[in-house]
Amino acid sequence: MPRDWVAAPGGGLPDRACAPATPRRLRRLSLPEYSAAVRDLVGRPVPAVQDLLPDAQVNGFANHAETLVIASGRFDELALVAEQAAAQVDVEALAACRAAEPRDACATRFILALGRRAFGRPLDDAEAARLRRLHDEAVEVGGPTAGLRLVLESLLGSPHFLYRTELGGDAGGALSSHEVARQLAFALTGGPPDPELASAADRDELRERAAVRRQVLRLAQTPTARAHVAGFLRAWLGLGDVRSIYKVQLYAVAGFSEATKAALDGELDLLLDYALSPGGGTWSALVGQAVAFASKRTAHLYAGTLEAPATEATFSGDAPVRLATRPELRRGILAMPVWLAAHSPVHRTSPVERGLAVRSRFFCQSLPQPPPTVSSAVVDATSAGQTVRDRFEAHSRDPACRGCHALIDPIGFGFENMDTIGRLRSEDGGVPVNASGALVGTDVDGPFTGPAELAERLVRSRQARDCFVVELFRFIEGRDETPADACELRPLQDYFADEQRKVVDLLVELVSRGSAGRRRPEP
Amino acid sequence: MSLSRRHLLRATGGLGVPLFLRQALAAPPTLPPRLCILMQANGTHQPTFWPSSPTGSSPILEPILGDASLRAKTIVVKGILNNQMGFGNEHDRGWNSLWTGVAPVGTPEDGFGGAASVDQMIKQALRPAVPFPSLNCGVLAADIGPKNGHRTSFSYAGPHRQIPTQTDPYRLYAALFSVVPEASDSADATIRARQRLRLKRSLLDVVAADLKALEGRLGATERAKLDLHTQALREYEQRLGASLEAGAINGTCPRTTMPAGLDPRREDDVPGLLDAMIDLVGLALACNLTRIVTFPIGHSGNNWRYRWLGIDKDNHEELAHRDTPDGSTPEIARHMTSISNWAAKAVARLCRSLDGAPDGAGTALDNSLVVWANENGTGYHTMRELPVVLLGRAGGQLKARGLVYYDDQSHRRLGTTVLNLMGVEATGLGLEPRCGTLVGVE
């Protein structure tokens, strides 16, 4: 990959000597992190990982440190994965005993090497001795291979594998080099440290900010980091599970089959990767580019919005291709059918859903849910000649609804030229659509029509960029921001306000910020 | 807390028989009553839910009150008011506050439980010595999944710490019966199984030592996370030997035949999933594989279309929100009635299976408390007069039967009542530490 996926290595933001706001803590691996760590340790994916029940989401991210625990039920699941992984993996290949090597020596080497990778640090003597005893007991019962298997199973079940510690050793609250290594690796790549980072930790280099910076810049260049950032973007956009978007054929929503959804899912990967690619990767590339990836299965969703209408000749086979969209109709991720469909109910558009998503995810403003006396019947009572917009406009008339919906619905109205699966439309229920919307309570207030004009505003909104910094912070830190974080969030927001900055640069600065390697005492 | 093998042996009296099996075989009164809380969503149709008189029945409750033996063990509680304000709407607070007694925590879009729920409080207080001290399972299959995870489970180990809901009956079956011995095990197989068990226990000793080492480095806040982990390990360890140690449990825990081909994610499979789950829970409770169950019948604010009842409308948006109590929406009223009636049949099915299992001098139902409740009172988000039914006699503690009517009692009194019936002394719950219990049910 070309080096310029990361634009501005430089020396990074100056350390503002902010007091660390993150407490000493344990972070249980999130399910994607766990999956990556298991795969890394055993050298292959373990199918049972796919069956784990999902973790709770907070702010759309399923990695909140307070939420992730190993209580009833979860322990059994993890024990089962460990057992299955140990049974399925070729542990002899993993141990790679040398021809002349005594079996005993090989077992010791296996325990120390695998243990180091599992825990992200060398085993202490007591840990090594316990594993050795366990190994020997299993050898007695089931032979040499059984010994290796039980060691692997035990490592996969150990809290030192399942949690990342952020505890530090000294009174100043500085994390150990090994803790820093795991923190960097999971933050940047979603998985455990690679050999180079692990060696740097073994040499205890990661207590120096400059050394951390070098590692961060190196890791940020990897394809894994790019995929990890794309995963964050998906969660932030509410597009983590495209295949679960549901539309009801009953309401004449045709053209949204399982195959269409599968294609949209793959095309979203391509779009995000393109938006993050060298030459792009900026805020405006993400929210303002007039580019789509479409294929035979999804071309109908883009009808009327492409620079050159798609024909038979546009596609070869089922492969997606990159196409230019008409910038006055589709620009940026919010104008893509996949986002528009994911933020609509099963049978019609919802100005509330689309408006609320923009307000909460792009402006970091949360609004309370409807009061008890309110019925959504007001928007679902259909009568001939009424558009969705007509019905939702009842909100702005009803004093009980007005307070909140005046902030939500006008944004959503601006999307009304896109139907429940994201096709351009000119009519709704036989009546011409009116896609004039408005932003209020933001730094880019004013009227707009259609998601493309909204995109223009988002591109220049400082508030939306600031919010994006907060969203990335929540995801990386696995916690909510607190007032104490402002000391470091503000400079990061100033940094990202520069049009040239890339999303990955922001990640680099966030991960290597001054207090990242220190913790405050537990509350 | 020591987790060594030696400690475990000491706990079981050194006889090699796990504590929970010895208790299960001893006289039932040593155990608290069984508890099963089932939660339905989106309210009910009030006029067809409540019996017309203290001894009467109702269209919705007919499957329960129309069965003479169940009727004798049923209390219909009218007048529970969930007065919790805070994050989220009534779906969120009705789901996450009813059994915690506190406001949700998180953000308005992600309002999780703000404290341990009563089921987990009871588990922590009593640590029931059974293979599964608590089980959270149910049916969540949905064409339209919940927008947020906080609507998938109402069981919490603490603020934000949601216990995930097991929705796959095959996996639940495998877990439950992993502790029940196979009648056909040969002597050879038994020896091998004992060897595996010994190794597994040694492995857990290693993991427990790691936990202890890590725990020593933590302050109180973070140690609470590891306490849950340590406890889960101990429960797992207790289950391990169960299938080898005693044959007696087998007699009361026959391996049932599971219907094939159910998909825990497919909405049209809901009826089959519900029956399968209800039957497994009935069995697990009756033969003391577990004593505490929480059971969501659909996620909070679900959008099931009830095609299996011939309805095919989104029960949330198209029915519940548009229901009226005054007879002006008769078709919706009919659908809302048949939906709640369908849930009542599942509750009756569970209770009949418990009532068919001998337990001490009576039946398993006599020594159980089954609570069937709903996040909302009506479909249009009111939280007054929540539909609540208490079944079973809670070991003889519940005396009343038929309709008991109150004037707006705090929902925390319901939770407090459940705690006390289960042998956990409490003067209140959550934000009302002195609210007391419901009067007139005991």
Residue B4 has pLDDT above 70, yes or no: no
Q: Which of B120, B205, B210, B322 to mutate to test the interface with A (most CBs of A within 10 A)?
A: B210
pLDDT of residue B389: 98
pLDDT at B13: 32
B143 or A466: which carries more pLDDT confidence?
A: A466
Task: State the pLDDT confidence band at B341, using cuts at 50, 70 and 90.
Answer: very high
Q: What is the mean pLDDT of residues A362-369?
A: 83
Residue A171: band (very low, low, confident or very high) from pLDDT cuts 50, 70, 90? confident
The 10s digit of each residue's pLDDT in A334-353 is 999 999 999 987 778 889 88
Cβ pair B381:A28 closer than 8 A: no
Among A72-76, B115-119, B140-144, B239-243, top mean pLDDT goes to B115-119
Taking each helix axis as running N to C, give the angle between helix A144-157 and helix A74-88, from 0 to 180 degrees, rounded to the nearest 10. 150
Q: Tell me which residue in B109, B206, B221 faces A522 most closely, judged by beta carbons.
A: B221
On the question of pLDDT at B396 being above 60, the answer is: yes
pLDDT at A10: 61
pTM, to two decimals: 0.85
pLDDT at residue number B194: 84
Residue-level pLDDT at A178: 97
Query: Is the pLDDT higher at A330 or at A1?
Result: A330
- pLDDT, one tens digit per residue, over A202-224 is 999 999 989 999 999 999 999 99
**Measured distance CA(B183)–CA(B99) in Å, rounded:** 40
Q: Is A251 on the interface with B (CB under 8 A)?
A: no
CB-CB: which of A67, A138, A345 is closest to B160?
A67
Pair A58, B112: CB distance under 8 Å: yes
Asked whether the predicted pLDDT for residue B28 surpasses 60, the reply is no
Residue B114 near residue B159 (C-beta atoms within 8 A):
yes
Residue partners of B312: CB distance under 8 A and separation at least 6: A250, B305, B306
Q: Which amino acid is at B300?
A: S
| Interface predicted TM-score (ipTM) of this complex, two decimals | 0.91
Q: Is A132 on the interface with B (CB under 8 A)?
A: no
Per cent of chain A over pLDDT 90 is 74
| pLDDT tens-place string over residues B242-272 | 766 553 343 457 778 899 999 998 999 999 9
Check pLDDT > 80 for residue B190: no
Q: Which of A72-76, A126-130, B97-101, B297-301 has the lowest mean pLDDT?
A: A72-76
At position B39, the amino acid (one-letter code) is: M
Tell whether A240 lies on the interface with B, counting CB pairs under 8 A: no
B11 — pLDDT class (breaks 50, 70, 90)? very low
Residues paired with residue B112 on neighbouring β-strands, in sequence order? B105
Rounded to a whole number of angstroms, the distance between the first and last alpha carbons of chain B is 37
pLDDT of A400 higher than 80: no
**pLDDT tens string A457-499:** 999 999 999 999 999 999 999 999 999 999 999 999 999 999 9
Whether residue A53 lies within 8 A of chain B, CB to CB, comes out as: yes
Q: pLDDT tens, A216-275?
A: 999 999 999 999 999 999 999 999 888 878 776 545 566 788 899 999 999 999 999 999
What residue in A sits closest to B133 (Cα-Cα)? Answer: A72
Q: Are A503 and A282 in contact (CB under 8 A)?
A: yes
Band of residue A511 on the pLDDT scale cut at 50, 70, 90: very high
Say what the pLDDT of residue B211 is: 97
The per-residue pLDDT for range B351-386, each reduced to its tens digit, is 999 999 988 889 999 999 999 999 999 998 889 999
The answer to whether residue A292 scores a pLDDT higher than 90 is: yes
Q: Is the pLDDT of residue A288 over 90?
A: yes
Q: Which residues of B115-151 are buried (b: 16+ CB within 10 A; e: fewer)?
A: bbbbbbbbbbebebbbbbbbbbbbbbbbbbbbebbbb
Residue in chain B lying closest to A129 (CA): B206
CB atoms within 10 A of CB B213: 14
A322-331, B1-10, B19-28: range with lowest mean pLDDT: B1-10
Question: Which pLDDT score, from 0 to 100, does residue B63 have?
Answer: 98
Average pLDDT of every residue of chain A: 90
| Band of pLDDT at residue B27, cut at 50, 70 and 90 | very low
- Inter-chain residue contact A372 with B89, CB threshold 8 Å: yes
Q: Is there a contact between A448 and A414 (Cβ–Cβ < 8 Å)? A: yes
Task: Give the closest residue to B340 by CA, choosing from B294, B384, B306, B383.
Answer: B306
Q: Do A150 and B165 touch (CB under 8 A)?
A: no
Estimate to the nearest angstrom the gap between the alpha carbon of A165 and the chain centroid.
21
Question: What pLDDT is recorded for position A4?
Answer: 53
Whether B263 and B141 have beta carbons less than 8 Å apart is answered as: yes
How far is Cα A451 from Cα A437, in angstroms, rounded to an integer?
9
d(CA B226, CA A488): 31
Q: Do B225 and A69 touch (CB under 8 A)?
A: yes
Is residue A81 scored above 90 in pLDDT? yes
Please give the single-letter amino acid code of residue B419: L
Q: Is the pLDDT of residue B16 over 50?
A: no
What's the CA gap between A490 and A289, in Å, rounded? 27
Looking at CA atoms only, how far is residue A8 from chain B in angstroms?
35
Residue of chain B nearest A480, judged by CA positions: B106
Of the candidates A57, A74, A163, which has its C-beta nearest B148's C-beta? A57
Written as one string, the DSSP assignment of B262-276 is: --TT-GGGHHHHHHH
DSSP code per residue over A212-232:
HHHHHHHHHTSHHHHHHHHHH
Highest mean pLDDT among A249-258, B212-221, B331-340: B331-340
Q: Does A136 touch chain B (CB under 8 A)?
A: no
Distance CA A24, CA A185 (A): 19
Q: Does A160 contact B106 at a Cβ distance shorter than 8 Å?
A: no
Residue B231 has pLDDT above 50, yes or no: yes
The whole-chain average pLDDT of chain B stands at: 87
Residue with structure tokens 């009980």? A400
Query: Is residue A375 within 8 angstroms of chain B, CB to CB?
Result: yes
CB pairs under 8 A between A and B: 186
According to the model, what pLDDT value does residue B148 have?
Answer: 73
Beta strands in B194-270 (DSSP E): none
Q: How many CB atoms lie within 10 A of CB B273?
A: 24
Whether A225 contacts A188, CB under 8 Å: yes
- A376-385: pLDDT as tens digits: 545 555 566 7
Greater confidence, B31 or B292?
Answer: B292
**Count of residues for chain A?**
523
Q: Is the pLDDT of residue A110 over 90?
A: yes
Distances in Å between the alpha carbon of A350 and those of A418, A421, A435, B161, B408?
A: 11, 11, 13, 32, 36
Which ranges of A276-325 does DSSP label H, i.e. alpha helix? 283-288
Query: Looking at residues A36-62, what average pLDDT do you find?
Result: 89
Cβ density class A483-515: b for 16+ within 10 Å, e for less: eebebbbebbbebbeeeebbbbbbbbbbbbbbb
- Does the pLDDT of residue B8 top 50, yes or no? no
